[in-house]
Amino acid sequence: MMVIQNPILKGFNPDPSILRVEDDYYIATSTFEWFPGVQIHHSRDMIHWRVIGYALDRESQLDLKGIEASGGVWAPCLTYDEEDRTFFLVYTIMRSTNGNAFDLDNYVVTAKDILGPWSERIYLNSSGFDPSLFHDDDGKKWLLNLEWETRKGYEHPGSIVIQEYDHVLKKLVGHPERIFCGATNMGCLEAPHIYKRNGYYYMMAAEGGTGFGHGVTIARSENLLGPYKSDPCNPIITSARVVNLNRRNVDDYLKLYQYNPNSILQKSGHGSLVETQNGEWYIAHLCARPVLPEIRSMLGRETALQRCKWTDDDWIRLATEGCMPELQVQEPLLSPHPFVSEPVREDFDSGVWNVNLNSLRVPFEESWVSLKERPGYLRLRGRESLFSLHKQSLIARRLQSVHAIIETCVEFEPERYHEAAGLTLFYDQNMFYYLRIYFSETLNSKCLGILYSDNGTKVELVESRRKIKDWNRIYMRAVIDEVKLFFYCSSDGENWEQIGPVLDASKCSDEYSSSGHFTGTFVGICCQDSYRKSKMADFDYFEYREV
């Protein structure tokens, strides 16, 4: 007998929007400042999942240059019009949160096939984030989102608003109406979804902030525009230490004091419902697994599944009859459908992009990254530093375990101090570790050393740098052992030596960030050239292995 083992989507896969189309299940997750945008996962048994692609794969859909870390794509909502046989995806591009103004735009794209091509984006509104699209049984479509409140003296963060979307005219029609202000006093209302069943419209929302006080709430109405009555058992999901703590009008989203030592899955909230072919109900929700003792979520916010049931009086609850999320969940009555395991090493031989690899803010373009110029290698042309918000030459994948080995081999000949290439553990431009090859004028030699950013403070460990003047190929390795990060180097890929001290990997986390960011850690390869932006680095392979 198999069970659903949570989290089902490990490592930086927040804000899940789950959807079933016939026998196939899909989950769309937020990608923030990473490119391509909106990662799409597929399953046929809800136990085994794989990444099948992205909905936003070009700049005309997704313009991210200059966007601050933790901006970009927030909370996509994936739906399907069965009559029109069309997928709809609505999403936010958060452009700035400066001054708490939250400058953003909401868009919709469509596709006949989940694999695309997805349409050019259609602008919807800019009043607030977490948009979702509800297809009513009369054929009308309705856009919901949190209307972000910016005025002093008004309850923060705002209300859920609804407005009709005309798919033929491809625009919103009528006027937005405020229909919901939250089902509890937990505060930080967001992530609205509407479902219809047995004559009721159900408003599912996230409350409590996307930190340790997070939860899923539900309310219902016989009318789409309300009023909505709160479930007396709200929240229906939370891992918070104190349930229903009154925090209306409080901006602190992290709420570290709500950490619950009795739960492995923390920050549980932001839910999305799905019904199986056999009438079974599940809810996808985000969660996190912080490492101790500092309580830091290196892997970011992940996605879990919980089994649900309907009560006799038509409320939906967890099948366990509590509100605490479970690590192991009873599987649905579906035939097992495992996928072939993905190889741990990408040799760059196929000439096709590995679906797990991402870039930062910009799409893959031959002008700066190529699988063709030197077959069997990934060639990076150096551009801006890892501190940049614009044009980095960085290729990376999600860290999905706190026990992992990451390895690469690079050929790189720096001629001046402006040029560098290597291996990075990257949270954002303010928090990363970088094992780099560079030219030292002091030593008059090609060297290997560690540079990192600690909440925006640049640190160079010059005392532990090593000359590698005669090395043509440099093998580089990062070993992550929970909170510990070790860097190694080798000239032959067999004999390894440690470079630098043991570092604190847990700093790459929401909880350590002094900027209020909330994404997750990536591991990757990169190249910089601040002189002429022309120096090339050739990477022979990239290996990610969980241990």
| Residue tagged 């995806």 (tokens) | 89
Q: How far apart are the first and last CA of the chain?
A: 25
User: Which residue do the tokens 């690469």 mark?
Assistant: 408
Q: In whole angstroms, give the CA distance from residue 217 to residue 189.
A: 10
321's CB contacts (< 8 A; 6+ apart) are none
Question: Measuring CA to CA, which residue among 108, 112, 104 is closest to residue 129?
Answer: 104
How far are the Cα atoms of 110, 143, 246, 272, 350 from residue 86, in angstroms, in the given order?
Answer: 7, 16, 41, 19, 32
| Burial class for 319, CB neighbours closer than 10 Å (0-12, 13-18, 19+) | middle
* Strand, helix or coil for residue 221: strand
Show which residues are catalytic. 15, 190
Distance, CA of 418 to CA of 402 (rounded, Å):
33
| 529/416 Cα distance (integer angstroms) | 9
Q: Residue 412: which of 325, 529, 315 has the closest Cα? A: 529
Distance CA 484, CA 472 (A): 29
Return the structure tokens found at 200. 């009721």
Distance CA 127, CA 112 (A): 29
CA atoms of 402 and 7, how far apart (whole Å):
14
Residue 171: strand, helix, or coil: strand
Determine contact, residues 380/537, Cβ cutoff 8 Å: yes
Tokens 């229903």, residue located: 244
Would you say 447 and 467 are in contact if contact means Cβ atoms under 8 Å apart? yes
**Structure tokens given for 398:** 């999600």
* Strand locations in 331-467 (E): 345-346, 358-360, 369-370, 378-381, 393-398, 403-411, 419-428, 431-440, 445-454, 457-460, 466-467
Peptide bond into 192 cis (omega under 30): no
| R_g of the chain, CA atoms, integer Å | 24
- Give strand pairing partners of 296: 291
Among all chains, which residue has been given the structure tokens 């999942």?
49
